Amino acid sequence: MDRIKIKDLEVFGRHGVYEEENRLGQKFLVSACLYLDTRRAGLRDSLEDSVNYGEVCHRIAAFFEARACKLIEAAAEALASELLRSFEALRGLTLEIKKPWAPIGLPLSWVSVEIERGWHTAYVALGSNMGDRQSYLGQAVSGLEDNPDIRVEQVSDWMETAPYGVTDQPEFLNGCARISTLLEPEELLAYLNQLEQQAGRERIRRWGPRTLDLDILLYEDRIMERPALTIPHRDMHNREFVLRPLCQIAPGVCHPVLHRTAEQLLQCLVERADSGAGCKEGRNPAGGASCKEDRNPAGGEGCKEDRNPAGGEGEREHG
């Protein structure tokens, strides 16, 4: 990704753990590497397609004037959020805050903290089968939009689906949203749980009826298995009610464990349902020997991330 760099911008701030530091203030040096796509701005010679580095510098100076954190870690975190939220074209940044006069009683050039932050592409599945289902799903999208650390990029149609798993319950309305987020996966899950609670969600029975269910399907190409969070969603490839809406907005997005696109996973699932078993050899849309993705986590010639038309930058591109 293209970069605009700012080196050692000198600003005055009051960050520090000592009372004198908060009272008297001191000099800080701020360096930033801004990640964005400058192609359009470069071709058109137009500032509105880029990030105005002058504005960024003044925002940094104003931030230092207005805020007083104890830690430069906290200053860096808050400043990175503010810049990423404020400048539309900015996809990520590295930020270094140097403190040349750190009061440690020993001579040093400076002490610094450097962080890397950015927008991440994630896919969220939405479902409801109680009450005014459409309204619950609509409120969930509004709730996502209300969070300054989330941008809703695209939402699928709401689709009527038969209950999966526990079948003696009302029909579901399901959908999928592509979001950009500054939140880490656990933070995103916590926020989704908060939205579920606001919709009056009660966890009475596993897979039982619910006003609102929000699951993280994919988060960039990250793979994680923690007690409270598995990414990619552990059962997404077996669920038509997940794959159909996902395919509508991102048919080419790649499952980082199964190495299949959403479209391939859906086709495979449909074929499995039709045949009552696994896909037959040769009918596998990805050209591999088997369509039982959960038994073949790395095999086949499935999707290549760089061909992914919908899946953001991937985790490894910044920095």
Q: Is 230 in the site for ligand A4P (CB under 6 A)?
A: yes
- The values of phi and psi at residue 107, to 5°, are -75, 140
Q: Which is nearer to ligand A4P, 48 or 186 (CB)?
A: 186
Q: What span, in angstroms and rounded, lies between the C-alpha atoms of 30 and 28?
A: 6
Q: Is 196 in the site for Mg ion (CB under 5 A)?
A: no
Q: What span, in angstroms and rounded, lies between the C-alpha atoms of 237 and 269?
A: 7
Contact indicator for 80, 31 with CB cutoff of 8 Å: no
Q: Is the dihedral of CA 264, 267, 268, 269 positive or negative?
A: positive
Q: Tell me, yes or no, if 304 is annotated catalytic.
A: no
Stretch that binds ligand A4P, among 43-51, 55-63, 150-158, 210-218 (CB under 6 A): 210-218
Q: Which is nearer to ligand A4P, 118 or 127 (CB)?
A: 127
Q: Is 233 in the site for ligand A4P (CB under 6 A)?
A: yes
Contact indicator for 245, 156 with CB cutoff of 8 Å: yes
Q: Which is nearer to ligand A4P, 19 or 225 (CB)?
A: 225
Cα Rg for the chain, rounded, in angstroms? 23
For tokens 């991440």, name the residue: 120
Q: Which of ligand A4P, Mg ion, none sits in contact with 262, Cβ below 5 to 8 A by type? A: none
Q: Which of 21, 96, 196, 215 binds Mg ion (CB under 5 A)?
A: 215
Contact indicator for 211, 170 with CB cutoff of 8 Å: no
Q: Is 223 in the site for ligand A4P (CB under 6 A)?
A: no
CB of 295 to ligand A4P, least distance (A): 21
Catalytic residue among 99, 280, 292, 304: 99
Among 217, 260, 40, CA closest to 121: 217
- Residues in the site for ligand A4P, rule: CB under 6 A? 127, 161-165, 172, 174, 189, 203, 206-207, 213, 215-216, 228-231, 233, 235, 241
